[in-house]
Structure 1
């Protein structure tokens, strides 16, 4: 089950997750102070959105998924029109699924999926929720809802919102199914359109880890470095 669910929440892959962003912004020494402040706020204002989200992010940062689910779940009730709260709830629920037995994890899949779908319903341009659904449909066996065609459907949606994300996500799908040459072509398209370090690194990883071409991996990273060297 861990192999199925480990990438449900896009905390790595091709876009940073909210929890990864939180790791960058949280000063460890300040975290405890923030937590106490937020908890004090909730004592007098139990529906305070900022405090609930802050505590949810801190819980996620500390991998306390039950607490994260609790805070984000409350946020959905307090502010049901906010797409990102459904996205965070679905993500933390996905991470919680890694820590329970496979039968309980299977029982969470419906809520995880519906949370990401709700995020898209509320925010038609929500990119991260589409990435999460791509992972969901790739990693789940077909017997419990996995579907390459659904993953491609969300990749096509990404292409209309962000050409780079569209190419990267389709490349990721092709790579997942060992269609490495096709994946290479999509990653190259992402580089041509966006030229981000992440796009170059993704292609380099494909060369190194899947295509047994370490020389190509080094070359593509050197190309990025040359293009971004300040003279």
Structure 2
């Protein structure tokens, strides 16, 4: 009888905990992040190593641009599961965003850790698209004197091409836009749009025409064709 009562209590407690997590998850999906955060924090108190909860809390911190908190949660995740490419990617991403908010001297000290996190993620998962996008942007935006390199960016753009033709052309177009090679960028963005024909590919090409090439005729023509 005692054993039965113990199992009954345990089942009720487990069901209650699950319900708390599910409620928090539902609030997150509804973009009610403040309410979701409170429930996730409460759930985490009794389940300190629950990876999904920690990830949600890291994501909420990122949404709120609380980079130190995001870094703390993602760091814990990669310590709990060092073989997850996604955790390393999110950890590197949070550090990268923090680096943009701090002074240049402090940001320079973060570069090697950011790069290492992204490279680790890329090594762990050869098909992780977001990581390769992060590396393209990282190497392009970073000054050459501290490790920036178009050659490295192109390497990961090529890897993207092998994983997703649309992402590959968009990445190569992104690199061309950064260096103001707008004719080449147009070729890559047109190819991306021909394959993907999505809101993203349209917006990239439209922005190139309107804001970079200052060609309203091409921008308007593209808009009419996309809205048909």
Shorter chain as normaliser: what TM range?
A: 0.7 to 0.9
Scaled by the length of structure 2, the TM-score of the pair is 0.84
Measured against aligned partners, the alpha-carbon deviations of 1:126-173 in whole angstroms (never above 9, x if no partner) come to: 111111111111111111001011111110100000000001110111
Computed over aligned residues only, the root mean square deviation of the Cα atoms, in angstroms, reads 1.7
Structure 1 CA distance for aligned equivalents of residues 210 and 96 of structure 2 = 29
- Give, in angstroms, the shift of residue 217 of structure 1: 0.7
Where relative contact order (Cα < 8 A, 6+ residues apart) is larger, the structure is 1
Q: Which residue of 2 aligns with 1:36?
A: 38
Structure 1 CA distance for aligned equivalents of residues 128 and 159 of structure 2 = 10
- Give, in angstroms, the shift of residue 223 of structure 1: 0.8
Structure 2 CA distance for aligned equivalents of residues 143 and 134 of structure 1 = 17
Structure 2 CA distance for aligned equivalents of residues 205 and 36 of structure 1 = 39
Structure 2 CA distance for aligned equivalents of residues 32 and 168 of structure 1 = 34
Structure 2 CA distance for aligned equivalents of residues 108 and 122 of structure 1 = 21
Query: Runs (4+) of structure 1 moved beyond 3 Å?
Result: 25-28
1:111-130 paired onto structure 2 within 5 Å: 111-130=113-132
- Give, in angstroms, the shift of residue 26 of structure 1: 4.5
- Residue 80 of structure 1 pairs with residue 82 of structure 2: yes
Between structures 1 and 2, the one with greater helix share: 2
Point out where structure 2 has 5 or more consecutive residues left out of the alignment: 1-24
Q: Among residues 213, 219, 222, which one is paired with 1:220 in the alignment?
A: 222
1:111-190 paired onto structure 2 within 5 Å: 111-190=113-192
Tell me if the contact between 1:201 and 1:221 (Cα under 8 Å) persists in the aligned partners.
no
Structure 1 CA distance for aligned equivalents of residues 34 and 214 of structure 2 = 46
Structure 1 CA distance for aligned equivalents of residues 219 and 207 of structure 2 = 7
Structure 2 CA distance for aligned equivalents of residues 214 and 202 of structure 1 = 14
Structure 1 CA distance for aligned equivalents of residues 103 and 186 of structure 2 = 37
Q: Which residue of 2 aligns with 1:27?
A: 30
Structure 2 CA distance for aligned equivalents of residues 225 and 165 of structure 1 = 22
Point out where structure 1 has 5 or more consecutive residues left out of the alignment: 1-21, 227-231
